[in-house]
Every structure is written in C-alpha cells, then in structure tokens.
Structure 1
Amino acid sequence: MTRILILTRHAKSAWDDISLGDHERPLNKRGRRSAQAIGAWLRKRGYLPDQVISSDAVRTRETWTQMSAEMGQAGGDPTFTRSLYLAPAQHILANLRQASGRVVLLLGHNPGIAEFAGQIVDEAPAHARFFDYPTGATTVIEFARDTWGDIGWHQGEVLDFIVPRELTD
C-alpha cells in the first residue's frame, strides 16, 4: 500500500500587531485567501487527507481552518502539536513517522519544512519555488511504503506542487 503526504507551509501571516509573539501571529487577508485556494485545489485534484498533523501556532491553525472550509470533512480532528512549531527537518520526519492515516496533511514552518521537502523526495519538481518553499507552498508526495514508520529520506515521489500565487493571481 502507498502513503500520501500533503506537505503545506502555513499561509501568509500578519505583521501589523507588533505586540504579538511569533507563535501568536494570525494570517493576513492574503493568507486566508491563499489557504482557501490551496484547500479548493486539493479538493479538485482529489487529495483529501484522512489525518492532519500541524504545528500549534496560530497561523498554522488558521491555515488549516481556511483550507478545510474548502475541503469539507477531510482530515477529521486535526492534531496540533508544539513539536512542529519551527521544527527542523529531522523533527518533522519523527512526527510523520507516528502518523496513522493513509493520506496525511502536515502543516509547518520554514526553514524546517523547506529542508524537509528537499530531503524527503527522491527528485525535486522542476519548479523555481520548491527549495525556498514560500508561504502556502504545498507538495503532494507518494511513498511506496506500508507504514509511515518505514519512510526515510529520498523515498518520496512528487505527484504535485503548487504555490498560492499560481491560484490567486
């Protein structure tokens, strides 16, 4: 059996309230629109998660809320964890190896998510933005593995990659 990973960086966050700490920053208007566009894109392509694992930061929670509004009941009850907040690639992999769904959506932050994306795939997509992984960037990756515990570096095959500007501009 295969496993599918939907790897998404949170959408664009607001910087207008300097009293908020990094963990508490919400999405801005463009970020909400981008997250909705990514959710609609995933739905149209049939990439619907049965499990969601996310950083517990406000902007990742809001990204999931906006995405899920476009995807219906996909994802079930998300798991929000502090261990994915600004996590390096190795910590992201450790979290993913604990997953139980067949199609998992993982929401995180740069720089770790960009590093993780570059290391988890066998071959990067021919897209200029893949390695810097801008806000809202989403990769759909397939693994020929029976469990998430079996995955490792350079094993994923990229099925799709998109950045929100390709959907909203």
Structure 2
Amino acid sequence: MKRTLYIVRHAKAEDRAAFMSDHDRDLVPEGIMASARMGRYLHEQGVQATVLISSTANRARDTAKVIAEQLAIDPQSIILDEKLFEGGPKAYLAAVNSLPADCESAMIFGHNPDVSYFAEYLTHQDVGSMSKGSVAAITFDNLNWSEVSGRTGFLAFYVTPKELLKQ
C-alpha cells in the first residue's frame, strides 16, 4: 500500500512580542488567507488526509483548521500533539510511527526548523528551509507507518503559498 504524508509548516504569524508566549502567537490575516489558498489548492489536487495532527501552538493549530475546512474535514478531528512544539524531528517521527495501520494519508502541522529537517530526513532530498504555509508531500511504498524512518520516503511535491499566487 502506498501511503502519503503531508508535512505543513504553519502560515505567517504575529511577530513575537516581549509580553507574548511564542506558543500563543496567532496567524496574521495574510497567514489565514495563505492557508485557505493552500487548502483550496490541495483540494483541487485531490488531496485527502484521514488523520491530521498539529502542534498545540496557536499558529500551527489554526493553519490546520483552515486547511481542514478547505478539504471538507471536520476541524474538531485534528489531533493536537504538544510534543510537536519544540520536540524536534524525533517528535514528528513518533507521531507518524504511531499513525493507525489503516490510514493511507496523513497531514502533520508544525514548525521550522523541525519540519524541514524531518522532510529531508525522510526523503534524503534537499528540501531546504520550508516556507511559511508550505506543504511537502512524501510518499512511502509498501511500508507501515511504524516502519517509516530515514530515507524511506520520496518527495512527491513541495508547494509554497507564493507559488500559488503565480497560478
């Protein structure tokens, strides 16, 4: 069975102010619009995800909600994983390795540099620093989620919000 993982970096958020927790930063209007465009694009491409997992940080959670709405997925079904906030790429791998066996596609929402490192770890391809609001789709052939690890995936596509503005 072919499985697909969509790695999503949160969209543009508020700058961190001295009085504000990094965890509590919200999306700015530009980030909300970019998330909606990305979700619409993914929907038009026929992307489906049966499981959505997000960092508990406001900006990641809200990016997940906006994209879920565009994909006609109930935002209440998003699984929030606090380890994805500052947990490093190992936290992302643990989340993926624990996906249900019957899940064919999943989407995980998080933060840089972790998402970029994670995409490169899985594919051993140069993804670079993922842009805010971007999506990397990684496919795995004949692997269970529990078997996913370094160099087991193939980068199917990488798309940024700026690229969508050009279309």
Flag whether TM exceeds 0.5 (same fold): yes
The residue number in structure 1 matching 2:107 is: 105
The residue number in structure 2 matching 1:4 is: 4
- Give how far 1:166 is off: 0.9
Matching residue's letter, 1:30: E
- Give how far 1:48 is off: 1.2
- Give how far 1:123 is off: 3.5
- Give how far 1:161 is off: 0.8
One of 141, 150, 154 as aligned partner of 2:151? 154
Matching residue's letter, 1:150: E
Q: Summarize the Cα distance change of 1:75–1:155 in structure 2 as closer, same or farther, 3 Å threshold.
A: farther
**Distance in 2 of aligned mates of 1:146 and 1:56:** 28
- Give how far 1:146 is off: 3.8
Per mean C-alpha deviation after superposition, the further-off stretch among 46-55 and 64-73 is 64-73
Kindly, what percent of the aligned residue pairs are identical? 24
In structure 2, runs of 5+ residues without a counterpart are: none
**Distance in 1 of aligned mates of 2:143 and 2:16:** 45
The residue number in structure 2 matching 1:127 is: none
Instruction: Report which of the two has the higher share of helix.
Output: 2
**Distance in 2 of aligned mates of 1:6 and 1:75:** 16
**Distance in 2 of aligned mates of 1:67 and 1:20:** 25
**Distance in 2 of aligned mates of 1:17 and 1:115:** 27
Q: Count matched residues.
A: 164
The residue number in structure 2 matching 1:14 is: 14
- Give how far 1:21 is off: 0.6
The residue number in structure 1 matching 2:129 is: 132
User: Cα RMSD over matched residues?
Assistant: 1.7
- Give how far 1:25 is off: 0.3
Contact 1:51 1:75 in 2 (8 A): no
The residue number in structure 2 matching 1:117 is: 119
In structure 1, runs of 5+ residues without a counterpart are: 125-129
Contact 1:52 1:76 in 2 (8 A): no
- Give how far 1:131 is off: 0.8
TM-score (norm 2): 0.91
**Distance in 2 of aligned mates of 1:145 and 1:54:** 25
TM-score (norm 1): 0.90
